[in-house]
Amino acid sequence: MKINAKIAAISIAALSTCACVHAEKITEDDPALRIRLKNELRRADKPSAGNAKNIYAWVQGALVDFRSGYYQDAVGVEGGAYYVYKLGAREIMSARWYLDNHDSFGFALGAVNIKYSDHMLLKVGRFGTDYGYGSLPWRIPLIGSSSQRTLPTVSEGALGYFAMSPHLEFWAMWRTRVFNWTDSATGIRDEGVYNAATGEYDKHRPRTFLATSWHDKKSRYSVGASIQQDVSTQLQTILEKRFELNDKYALKGELLGLYVHLDGLSRSEISPDETSLVSGQLT
């Protein structure tokens, strides 16, 4: 019998002094220390991956995050250290971005938080932007991502937050470097133009983001945009609505739209320069 995909995954999470595993508000004032251990084993046969279709990786991740309180209710710091240790890999198989080729790897984070008020915050440095990991309080269009590997998404630059009212908020980010789940071989890398011939981002181009969201207890409607010279202009909308069925059950609907227009050096003479998609789900 031919098996097209066979995946095994084991995840173990250990929580330290942080009282809750859910995402915390970006304006949270309390000092915190969080330690997570994440063990993952992946064995897969994925024909769509071409020469890397045979996948095997067994890793142990150790992730430490800390956040200070605010000095004089104005300035605080945060940081972290993330590391993936190789427990198993096979030379004849792909590690599929769980390892740096077949080696262990890691990196550190650090940022300064400046709080102008309870409703306005500026973060500068290297910080998490992975809502699935808990780095952000919710899925902010284009700014927030959700890593599919052991380590979460990390950005380097500046992130700003402003709540105009209890229901309306704005986010802005300027990013010069990034770590995505496909960057295990490079670690934190420059934002820029991808060179398909070398597999590197050899022309540095910072990326700018702006997003806004309105929400109440049952709904959230968000829109975001990003601009990156010689790479792309992107627009994303996320609409979420919760319908209470009874005291125990509810139905949640989500609708996502995305538009991407390639720019400058990223444009191709043989491929389309723009694309769009719409997707939805009920849970």
Phi, psi of 52 (to 5 degrees): -100, 25
Residue 25 has pLDDT above 60, yes or no: no
Q: What are the angstrom distances between the C-alpha of 205 and each of 36, 64, 139, 190, 268?
A: 33, 30, 24, 8, 18
Pairwise CA distance, residues 279 & 238, whole Å: 10
Rg (CA), the chain: 20
Half-sphere exposure of 106 (CA within 13 A, CB side): 16
8 A C-beta contact, residue 171 and residue 212: yes
Confidence label for 26 from pLDDT (cuts 50, 70 and 90): low
CB-based contacts of 146, cutoff 8 Å, min separation 6 = 130, 131, 132, 133, 139, 153
Q: pTM for the complete prediction?
A: 0.86
User: Which of 195, 186, 192 lies closest to 204 in space, CA to CA?
Assistant: 192
What is the structure's pLDDT at 114? 96
Express as a percent the part of the chain with pLDDT over 70. Answer: 90
pLDDT tens column, 150-167:
999 999 999 999 999 999
Span 27-73, pLDDT tens digits: 567 899 999 999 999 999 988 888 888 999 999 999 999 999 999 99
- Measured in whole angstroms, the distance separating CA 94 from the mean position of its chain's CA atoms is 23
**Mind listing the pLDDT tens digit for each residue in 61-75?**
999 999 999 999 999
Comparing C-alpha atoms, which of 236, 122, 114 is closest to residue 172? Answer: 122
CB burial of 266-281 (b: ≥16 within 10 Å; e: otherwise) equals beeeeeeeeeeeeeee
Dihedral sign, Cα of residue 9, residue 155, residue 265, residue 100: negative
198 pLDDT tier (thresholds 50, 70, 90): confident
Is 238 exposed, middle or buried (CB count within 10 Å of its CB: 0-12, 13-18, 19+)? buried
